[in-house]
Structure 1
Amino acid sequence: MTHRRRRPVLVLTNPCDVTADVVLRILAHRRATVVRLDPGTDLHTGASLTASFRTGDQRGTLRTRSRTLDLTEVGAVWVRRASPYEGPVDLDGQERRFAASQTVWGAGGILASLPGAHYVNHPWANRAAEHKPAQLSAAQRFGFAVPDTLITNDPQEARDFVARRPTGAVYKPVWNTPYSVDGEPRAVWVREVGSQEITDAVRACPHMFQARVPKAFDVRVTAVGDRLFGVRIDSPDLDWRRRQDLMTCTPIAVPEPVARSVVRYLGHFRLVFGAFDFAVTSDGGWSFLECNPNGQWAWQPPGTTDGIAHALADELLRGPDA
């Protein structure tokens, strides 16, 4: 593949991101200039970020322990899994919260505003696409089959909805909020729910209930631009993420109507990358469940993982957006 320009690639992620490492090895093989930054921590441990704005001119510099980067030269930004902006560890209370907030709006704003850089994905596009109601609205608009879904904080509405689902219903959180019990982190998995289980505690916040799809298997479709990588997932669990050691994954072709809807969905949210989850019934129907705009993908079969990694490397070396 011929690349028009070999401008530097800026990768925003934490130092333990082994998924990013897969792509960085490919970029190194292609002799690309890559700068890796974890802004939530590095800017408090020696890195510095500067931006200046004048009429008709914008400039910026990133200095890390090993590199100095002219931000006007950045060709692409890969927004991966950066650490949260929590402020310097040597500050306490209000001062640390103030520093963390200023970093979000200052450094985060600079890194999201590099002129012409090609973002995979832009952080603001990621944020817009993470809202489950927005996902479902876009999915039904662009031709996906969507299970009957209710998001409510009204207990009676929830009970009535669940009771009317002939194939049963499931509960899933609208956001993967960190949760712990006795100090131990716990995941909130998708699970079946009966109307008798729904209490007035639902009033505390919106809850998401969905008709249970009588699926034969799950599918993950990883999209990088218009390149789609489908994997069939067979698992004994309703939520295959719960025990990934028990699931099996095999490549699967993506039906053309689904592929068209994926591309339209990505365009709507201005995404380059998306990890789509589907439930597939025995008669071949694909039901949209969600799209993670920054989902993990290196757990898939080696051939699929390699294809995704090379597709991402191609995107990052594509050059600045027009």
Structure 2
Amino acid sequence: MILIISRVGHTVNKVMDWLNYYKQPYIRFSDADNLYELLDIEISDHSFSVRIKKGNVDIDLYSINAVWVWHGDIRFKGLSLSDVSRISKKEEVTQNLQSQIRTVYGFIENYLISKRIIGHTFLQDVNKLTLLSYARQVGLHIPQTYVSTKTSHVQQLTENNELITKSIQQSPFIHDSNGNVILKGYTTEVFHEQTKKIAQERLFPSLLQEKLDKKYELRIFYLDGKCYPMAIFSQRDEQTAIDFRKYNHVKPNRMMSCSIPDYLEKQIIKLMKMTGLNTGSLDFVKTKDNKYVFLEVNPVGQFGFVSESCNYQLEKLIAEKLVSYC
């Protein structure tokens, strides 16, 4: 049996459609439901089981052969940190009970990681700065990068350089009380005149990178040693030139399949092995002087638009990989 741990979405549905086509049984933990209940865990010399329940059906995770983790985590009904907060008002007791819940979830996650797994991490992202360091080690070009904590340093950098700034880690999405996104963190150009207006000297650690002269961007989906590249001509639109996620829905960026050099694919494979990831979405820029410059890897990055624009049928490939694990 296959276990899918994901959020609800069109891409996941397509993978499940292919599993249905191949008549492969599966279950899914979704962020949109609260349907699963942890029954019990048994560990002994002669037996091992992690039993869960959905509706009237009992499932032993021991029967799981393959796992796909994509934008999701494990949640059981009545077993959350907030549930514990309602049980006890004494802080020390609450912290102790929450620690025990984390241990239960940590055990289950580690157990599932021991299976044949795609996206074998329950972390939603990896350290961007570490990735840049790894990329440098495998021979990839990376943008000149700074993390600054002083305004004077930022002013010095911007005086003679074209720079951009973005989140050091995950880009923030701020929501209002109704759950609507009211603020998004995008990559933005930094101008020297702006930095001269900053009053305080001490800054929160801020990431700055050289502004690349783009020929086009690359989104490369990686799956178990193979790369599926797509070119994005974001620089042709002022709205998307700095950050293509500022989508122009009226006149979308042109996206098309492309090829990458063999040496670049080998470097990517080395990088992914260093990170321990067997899948992910990699962002590159091809500059006007024909350098491939690595930006980042998102272990759970969107790939549906890559699959559709390039006719790669990535959802089918993921389903087939999972089936081969069973």
* TM-score, L = length of structure 1: 0.83
Deviations 1:147-201 (A, max 9, x none): 1001232322333233342xx1000112223325797521111011023323366
CA contact (8 A) 2:68 2:117 kept: yes
- Aligned pairs (5 A) from 1:162-173: 162-165=158-161, 168-173=162-167
Alignment of 1:79 onto 2:62 = no
- Aligned pairs (5 A) from 1:242-261: 242-245=246-249, 246-261=252-267
Report the equivalent of 1:30. 22
Aligned-residue identity in percent = 18
Structure 2: gaps (5+ residues): 88-93
Partner Cα distance (1:148, 1:119) in 2: 35
Partner Cα distance (1:47, 1:37) in 2: 11
- Report how far residue 210 of structure 1 moved: 0.3
Partner Cα distance (2:212, 2:76) in 1: 40
- Report how far residue 75 of structure 1 moved: 1.3
- Report how far residue 83 of structure 1 moved: 6.4
- Aligned pairs (5 A) from 1:1-322: 8-14=1-7, 16-38=8-30, 41-42=33-34, 45-55=35-45, 58-65=48-55, 67-82=57-72, 94-95=85-86, 103-114=101-112, 116-124=114-122, 126=123, 130-165=126-161, 168-174=162-168, 175-180=170-175, 184-198=181-195, 199=198, 203=202, 205-235=204-234, 236=237, 237=240, 238-245=242-249, 246-300=252-306, 302=308, 304=310, 306-319=312-325
Q: CA RMSD in A?
A: 3.1
Report the equivalent of 1:5. none
Partner Cα distance (1:301, 1:114) in 2: 27
Change (3 A) 1:104 1:205: farther
Change (3 A) 1:176 1:105: farther
**Which amino acid counterpart does residue 193 of structure 1 have in structure 2?**
V
**Which amino acid counterpart does residue 70 of structure 1 have in structure 2?**
D
Partner Cα distance (2:259, 2:291) in 1: 14
3-state SS, counterpart of residue 122 of structure 1:
coil
CA contact (8 A) 2:119 2:278 kept: yes
Structure 1: gaps (5+ residues): 1-7
Change (3 A) 1:18 1:55: same
Deviations 1:109-159 (A, max 9, x none): 3133237411211225x45x6211111111111111001001232322333
- Report how far residue 25 of structure 1 moved: 0.7
Partner Cα distance (2:109, 2:134) in 1: 28
CA contact (8 A) 1:298 1:305 kept: no
- Report how far residue 93 of structure 1 moved: 9.1
CA contact (8 A) 2:29 2:73 kept: no
- Report how far residue 304 of structure 1 moved: 3.4
Count of matched residue pairs: 306
CA contact (8 A) 1:86 1:100 kept: no
* TM-score, L = length of structure 2: 0.82
**Which amino acid counterpart does residue 76 of structure 1 have in structure 2?**
A
**Which shows bigger deviation, 301-310 or 238-247?**
301-310
| Higher alpha-carbon Rg | 2
